[in-house]
C-alpha cells in the first residue's frame, strides 16, 4: 500500500472543501476562545486531518497530538501532555507544571496546541481536566489551544452533568 496510500492521503487533503476546513480549524486555533470540535463517523479522516494540521503548523505553534483512550484518567492525561511537551517525567503537580510550561511558551510568542484524537474515549473527569487547562489565561489570552477530534459518541460525553 506504501506510496499509493500516501497519494490517497495527499489527494484527500487537496480538495477545496477539506482545505477550507483545515484553514478554518487553523484560524480557530489562533483566534478563538472556543474549543473546536471536529466530529464525524469512524474512518472519515479525522485522524488524517489532525495529522495534517500538525504537519502544516506554523513555526510559532508547539503541537501535541495524541490519541485518547478510556483508561486515560486525569493524571495519565496530564502525563501524556507533559511528555508530549517535553517536560521531564517527574512526580509533582502536573497541571501546574503544564501551566508554567505554557506560560513560558506564550511569553516567547509560541502557541501551545493540543490535538486530541478519539476525544469521545476520555473519561468525564479527564475532559473536565482538559477544559480546566484550557481555561487558564496569561494577560487575558488562553494559555493553550485545544482541538477535539471525535465520533458521534462525544455528544454523550459532553452531556455529562459535571460538564
User: Do the domain assignments include residue 62?
Assistant: yes
User: Do the domain assignments include residue 136?
Assistant: yes
CA dist 78 → 16, 27, 62, 135, 145 (Å): 36, 26, 16, 15, 15
- Which of 27, 52, 37, 18 minimizes the C-alpha distance to 146? 37
Q: What is the pLDDT of residue 5?
A: 41
User: Do the domain assignments include residue 125?
Assistant: yes
The whole domain housing 132 covers 2-158
User: Do the domain assignments include residue 26?
Assistant: yes
What domain count does the chain have? 1
User: Do the domain assignments include residue 163?
Assistant: no
- Which of 13, 4, 32 minimizes the C-alpha distance to 142? 32
**SS3 at position 133:** helix
Q: What is the pLDDT of residue 91?
A: 66
Q: What is the CATH number of the domain that holds 99?
A: 3.40.50.300
107: which residues sit within 8 A by CB, 6+ positions away? Answer: 138
pLDDT by 10s per residue, the chain, length 163: 333 444 444 444 467 888 888 899 999 999 998 999 999 999 988 999 999 999 999 999 999 999 999 999 999 999 999 999 998 867 678 999 999 999 999 999 999 999 999 999 999 999 999 999 999 998 888 999 999 999 999 999 999 887 6
CA–CA distance, 94 with 150 (Å, rounded to integer): 25
Amino acid at each position: 500500500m506504501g506510496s499509493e496510500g500516501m497519494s490517497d492521503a495527499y489527494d484527500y487533503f487537496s480538495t477545496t472543501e477539506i482545505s477550507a476546513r483545515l484553514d478554518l480549524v487553523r484560524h480557530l486555533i489562533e483566534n478563538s476562545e472556543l474549543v473546536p470540535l471536529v466530529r464525524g463517523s469512524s474512518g472519515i479522516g479525522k485522524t488524517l486531518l489532525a495529522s495534517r494540521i500538525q504537519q502544516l503548523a506554523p513555526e510559532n505553534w508547539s503541537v501535541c497530538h495524541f490519541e485518547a483512550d478510556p483508561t486515560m484518567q486525569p493524571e495519565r492525561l496530564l502525563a501524556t501532555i507533559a511528555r508530549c511537551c517535553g517536560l521531564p517525567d517527574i512526580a509533582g503537580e502536573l497541571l501546574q507544571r503544564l501551566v508554567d510550561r505554557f506560560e513560558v511558551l506564550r511569553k516567547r510568542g509560541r502557541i501551545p496546541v493540543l490535538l486530541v484524537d478519539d476525544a469521545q474515549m476520555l473519561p468525564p473527569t479527564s475532559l473536565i481536566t482538559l477544559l480546566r487547562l484550557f481555561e487558564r489565561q496569561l494577560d487575558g489570552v488562553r494559555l493553550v489551544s485545544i482541538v477535539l477530534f471525535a465520533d458521534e459518541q462525544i455528544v454523550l460525553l459532553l452531556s455529562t452533568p459535571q460538564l
